[in-house]
Amino acid sequence: MNASSAVATRGASVTPEPSGTAARLIYRHTLPIRIMHWINVIALTLMLFSGLQIFNAHPYLYWGNRSDQGTAWLAMDAHQDAAGNLVGTTRIGQHQVNSTGVLGVSKGSDGTPVARGFPSWLTVPSAGWLAMGRRWHFFFAWVFVLNGLCYISYSIARRHLQRDMWPTRADWRGIGRSILDHIRFRHPHGAEALRYNILQRLAYLTVIFIFGVGIVLMGLAMSPRMDAVLSPLVEAVGGRQSARSIHFIVAWAFVAFVLIHVFEVLISGVFNQLRGMITGYYKVDAVVPEPVEPAVPADPVVAEPAPIAEDPRHE
Amino acid sequence: MSDRRSFLRMAGMGAVGILLAGCDRISQSGLGTRVLGSAEGLNRRVQALLSPSSAMAKEYSEADISPVFHPNGTTMPGTPAYQALMANQFRDYKLQVDGLVSRPAMLSIADLKALDDRTQITRHDCVEGWSAIGKWRGTLLSAVLDHVGVSPQAAFVVFHCFDEMDVDTPYYESVDIREARHPQTLLAFELNDQPLPVPNGAPLRLRLGRQLGYKQAKYISRIELVSSFEDIGDGKGGYWEDQGYEWYAGI
């Protein structure tokens, strides 16, 4: 770890602003967290794209154990219209829409329409190639799982999880205000910005422990070898085809989380946030850099900067 | 504002385009496919640890059986040898068992029925993603192996099939001896209490409880025990394996 920079920032190096208001650069994200964050970005991206490639081999989803014809709850199909043009349709339950160009039928590598679930610009590899899609998917599944296990162990060991993510009673009491702040796109800029708000905490915990754990378990539930020992789990979710459906839905829940996450980064100071997750340093407007005694005494042997949430609350 | 938005959109699409083009290049390269394919060994070893080789696939009830057991891949082998056998309802069919065995044999379906058999209702999972449930009756592959006597050097059981996937490219598959001796590994001759239909692999097909559909060879003509499958086909242990699919099909 870059202990030297960590030590340097403990004294909260003050960068004077031209306006006269002081701003502090705080060492917010430790190096392991930053590395694991960006590994996760790569792994999730490639698993999504290769996952859609695998989905395209049978672009239908079912509930239960079997995939009997006509029982899919989601279907992407292609058929020819009277003029001989390929028409792509997407059906969810009873609702069917013409999705030509994107779902069901989209342009192949030579520009002519081909029948395929998701389009080539959303799959890895871009051409229909199930065997290679599986290679990408399983390789990055291991990256995702090992990275995720490292992240959870590190976060527990460094009390990142307990201190920064587990909601306190005060957090729960502030949930109404936090929701209003989010709706108004209002973000704190002072030291309060360093502390994860209640919605952030709930979002991170949900993504890590429900989406992350869930998508891995549903992936394993599709493995016939693992099902020899996991069949109680498979049957609990309704069957192997249900597991495949849930795996697909959670993948899109991850996408929804990432879209919201990136949106929040964009509106809360994209440069500062990116610097925080790349170099570790995050700037806060130090209105009154009051050194209050920490509510919980900091671990004296830590060579790292104390996690930010340890800062006294300013409420 | 719309200029800026379209610029951002183009930049975003450009980034995705570069990413996907890079992935395509990796997919085409020998090193890239080897590195990505390294997950197969990890999957095989870790799954064997988590799900022991003796673990049994779930068996379902009669009520769970698929109304139609979807036949995939070849549904009617066109080779003259197969057509001749089919014309006579497979009465002249004999399974050839040879290779690293002490007593090579030619076994009719009646001979196979005389060995230990088993009936199981198991789920079939295709690599494409779909599943079907069927009731299979067949001879335990372990009983056939005991009947012919397996040499100690034998490591794999190779299944040679009647169906040609391409010119001079017959379908074949292979499993290791441990998988071959699993109690749910059958040479099936019945599906849902009927003689195995042609689209599903008549007269004899492989059933494995815990691997994907492409491992479950249909239209088996010959079983060969080998120490290595390097000299068969393109050397990857199966027709689909030669096309880039994993030999270990447990996931």
At A257-282, the pLDDT tens digits run 999 999 999 999 999 999 999 999 99
Residue B157 is part of which domain span?
57-242
Enumerate the β-bridge partners of residue B140. B186
Cβ–Cβ of A57/B58 closer than 8 Å?
no
Helical H segments across A26-78, by residue range: 31-56
- Total domains in the fold of chain B: 1
Cβ–Cβ of B211/A227 closer than 8 Å?
no
Average pLDDT, chain B: 95
> Would you say residue B2 lies in a domain?
no
Structure tokens at A141: 């599944």
Structure tokens at B141: 């592959």
- B3 phi and psi angles, rounded to 5 deg: -60, -45
> Would you say residue A73 lies in a domain?
yes
> Would you say residue B89 lies in a domain?
yes
> Would you say residue B5 lies in a domain?
no
Is the pLDDT at A296 greater than 70, yes or no? no
> Would you say residue A153 lies in a domain?
no
Cis upstream peptide for A188 (omega within 30°): no
Residue A177 is part of which domain span?
3-30+158-310
| pLDDT for the residue numbered A110 | 82
A168 and A288, same domain (yes or no): yes
> Would you say residue B78 lies in a domain?
yes
Is the pLDDT at A307 greater than 60, yes or no? no
Structure tokens at B193: 């209490």
A167 and A293, same domain (yes or no): yes
Angle of the A270-278 helix axis to the A31-56 helix axis, nearest 10: 100
Residue of chain A whose Cα is closest to the Cα of B241: A131
Enumerate the β-bridge partners of residue A15. A23
> Would you say residue A225 lies in a domain?
yes
Go through B46-84 and write b for each residue having 16 or more CB atoms within 10 A of its CB, e for each that does not: ebeeebeeebebbbbeeebbbeebbbbbbeebeeeebee
A93 and A169, same domain (yes or no): no
- Total domains in the fold of chain A: 2
The answer to whether B219 and B202 have CB atoms below 8 angstroms apart is: yes
> Would you say residue B117 lies in a domain?
yes
Mean pLDDT computed over A169-176:
93
B242 against A2, higher pLDDT: B242
Chain A residues with CB under 8 Å of B243 CB are 131
The answer to whether A151 and A167 have CB atoms below 8 angstroms apart is: no
Cβ–Cβ of B23/A55 closer than 8 Å?
no
* Res. A191 pLDDT band, cuts 50 70 90: confident
% pLDDT > 70, chain A: 84
Chain B residues with CB under 8 Å of A230 CB are 51
Q: Which one of B5, B10, B24 would you mutate to disrupt binding with A, by most A Cβ within 10 Å of its Cβ?
A: B24
Q: Looking at this protein, which amino acid is placed at residue A223?
A: S
> Would you say residue A293 lies in a domain?
yes
> Would you say residue A52 lies in a domain?
no
Cβ–Cβ of A222/B245 closer than 8 Å?
no
> Would you say residue A123 lies in a domain?
no
Judged by phi (left if over 0) then psi (alpha if -120 to 50, else beta), residue A2 lies in beta
* Res. A85 pLDDT band, cuts 50 70 90: very high
The answer to whether A215 and A254 have CB atoms below 8 angstroms apart is: yes
Mean pLDDT computed over A33-38:
98
Distance from CA of B12 to the nearest CA of A (A): 12
Mean pLDDT computed over A125-147:
97
Cβ–Cβ of B131/A66 closer than 8 Å?
yes
Q: d(Cα B40, Cα A135) in Å, to the nearest integer?
A: 8
A180 and A287, same domain (yes or no): yes
> Would you say residue B39 lies in a domain?
no
Cβ–Cβ of B20/A136 closer than 8 Å?
no
Mean pLDDT computed over A79-92:
95
Host H or E run for residue B223: strand B220-226
Distance from CA of A219 to the nearest CA of B (A): 9
> Would you say residue B247 lies in a domain?
no
A75 and A172, same domain (yes or no): no
Q: Where are the beta strands (DSSP E) in A38-112?
A: 60-61, 74-80, 86-92, 95-98, 104-107
% pLDDT > 90, chain A: 77
> Would you say residue A179 lies in a domain?
yes
What is Dmax (Cα atoms) for chain B?
Answer: 81
A93 and A163, same domain (yes or no): no
Cβ–Cβ of A226/B130 closer than 8 Å?
no
Residue of chain B whose Cα is closest to the Cα of A138: B39
Q: Which regions of chain B are under pLDDT 70? A: 1-2
CATH of the domain at B190: 3.90.420.10
Cβ–Cβ of A135/B37 closer than 8 Å?
yes
> Would you say residue B14 lies in a domain?
no
| pLDDT for the residue numbered A309 | 42
User: Does A231 touch chain B if contact means CB atoms closer than 8 Å?
Assistant: yes
Short-list B20, B129, B11, CA closest to A122: B20
Mean pLDDT computed over A120-146:
96
**Lowest mean pLDDT across A157-171, A200-214, A285-299:** A285-299
> Would you say residue A129 lies in a domain?
no
A198 and A273, same domain (yes or no): yes
A112 and A167, same domain (yes or no): no
| pLDDT for the residue numbered A261 | 96
Structure tokens at B18: 């570069």
| pLDDT for the residue numbered A12 | 41
Q: A271, exposed or middle or buried, with CB in 10 Å at 0-12, 13-18, 19+?
A: exposed
Average pLDDT, chain A: 87
Distance from CA of B112 to the nearest CA of A (A): 27
SS3 (DSSP) at B19: helix
Q: d(Cα B132, Cα A7) in Å, to the nearest integer?
A: 61
User: Does A134 touch chain B if contact means CB atoms closer than 8 Å?
Assistant: yes
